[in-house]
Amino acid sequence: MEARLMYEFVSRSFQISETISLSSKIRRCASNLMLYKGPESAVAAGVMVGVATEVQIILDSVYSGSPSVVLDYFDSHHIRGRIAASLTRLEQELACNAGVDTTEKPIGTGGGLDSEGSS
């Protein structure tokens, strides 16, 4: 499904190399997070379902001939950037916590991932 969306973007002459890079980063981080035996697994699975849903919504918009395809592209790119940044941060926190001793402090908490300053 995502390949179809990228094809639609390319056929409209959108520059998608960064979007593809973000999508790859999301898949890599989500796959790594799914290996943890905690709530992070559910978060990662939810993210992947969310990305698939986003792709379907945009494809529906493209196929319906919506004039907002350009806006959909930029929205999609922005959403993927935020998801990639959030998953990367969560992955770093988990890696830090996995090797933490009593003198080390984690990078941060996941509570601020939805704020504008987390990218």
Give me the tens of pLDDT residue by residue for the chain, a chain 119 residues long.
888 988 988 998 988 899 899 999 998 998 888 887 788 888 888 888 988 898 899 999 899 988 888 898 899 889 999 999 988 998 888 888 776 544 444 444 444 455 444 44
Q: Which domain holds residue 10?
A: 2-118
Mean pLDDT across the chain, nearest whole number? 81
pLDDT in tens, 47-79: 889 888 988 999 998 999 888 888 988 998 899
- The domain total for the chain is 1
Written in H, E and C, the secondary structure of 43-100 is HHHHHHHHHHHHHHHHHHHHHCCCCCHHHHHHHHHHHHHHHHHHHHHHHHHHHHHHCC
